[in-house]
Amino acid sequence: MSYKRIAAIHDISCFGRCSLTVALPILSAAGIETAVIPTSILSTHTGGFSGYTFRELTDDILPVAEHWRKEGITVPAVYTGYLGSKEQVDLVISAIDTITEKNALIVVDPAMADYGRLYGGFPEDFPKYMSKLCKRADIIVPNITEACMLLDKDYSDGPYSEDFINELLLGLYNLTKAKVVLSGVWFDFKRIGAACFDGENAEYIFSDRIDASYHGTGDVFASALVSGLMNGKDIKTSAELAVNFTCKCIKTTQKMQPNDNYGVCFEAEIPTLLKMLELV
Ligand code: PXL
């Protein structure tokens, strides 16, 4: 199955390479027509910068979707990420219902937290709201922190045990009935990757673990995953592609740019992604 148009529903962080400034170029390069519904506009992302501007676009979400519908514009797939507030959850669900075709693929990245902490500005009960959106998804793409928060479990740093990861996968599947692609999985100091769970089988994909962390890595990972799915690849192949592409981007970033807050230098690796997708 190949989906060629998608609606990406995330914020625009004007600087810092995350959310729509990552999803849009990656999906477009992967040959997918990408329509957007911005949830908010910030001058930068919220990690590592202070005094950023923040404008919620809550009142625009549904009117954008309704206008598309009036124009006969529908989508066979939706990919959601960072939302501007908990009030946006129900509006995003209504927007999805308004714009999607029958059997549309809904991918939800519950982008709200990392390293055991919610991103700045979100209230403590935000995960409860995000879990409602995850229940509308076919595939969810949390990191370990987000998985713990969705399940109301204590977060701990890795290395993780396989039992702990399997507990998260099963818990998330039981909570949402969505397939799970869990990022940031590592069992030893040499390798890091993702775990996929379809309700029956868990599969692990690893790449080199690099001692560096950059904002927006989750967005690069999820956007590459969605690029694979939209090009007709199955979930495991797409996750494999996302792990390998993200690893390659991080290695390049280490060489090119020392500032962690400026995001992942994915642009230089777009040709690699196209090769992985067998588009060139
Ligand atoms: O990459 C996730 C993300 C998206 N949008 C905003 C963020 C973050 C992570 O910090 O702050 C505004």
Residues with CB under 6 A from ligand 1: 11, 13, 18-19, 42, 45-47, 82, 111, 119, 215-216, 218-219
Closest CA to 60 of 104, 107, 9: 9
pLDDT in tens, the chain (280 residues): 455 899 999 999 999 999 999 999 999 999 999 999 999 999 999 998 999 999 999 999 999 999 999 999 999 999 999 999 999 999 999 999 999 999 999 999 999 999 999 999 999 999 999 999 999 999 999 999 999 999 999 999 999 999 999 999 999 999 999 999 999 999 999 999 999 999 999 999 999 999 888 999 999 999 999 999 999 999 999 999 999 999 999 999 999 877 889 999 999 999 999 999 999 9
From first CA to last CA, the distance across the chain in angstroms is 20
Contacts of 186 (CB under 8 A, 6+ apart): 158, 159, 160, 192, 193, 206, 209
Tell me if the pTM is above 0.95: yes
**Centroid of ligand 1 to alpha carbon of 73 (angstroms):** 28
* 186 secondary structure, DSSP code: E
**Centroid of ligand 1 to alpha carbon of 280 (angstroms):** 31
> Closest ligand 1 atom, CA of 19?
4
Nearest CA to ligand 1 atom 12: 45
How far is CA 206 from each of CA 8, 196, 245, 246, rounded to the nearest angstrom?
A: 27, 12, 12, 11
**Centroid of ligand 1 to alpha carbon of 241 (angstroms):** 23
To test ligand 1's pocket by mutation, which of 114, 215, 260 has the most ligand atoms within 8 angstroms of CB?
A: 215
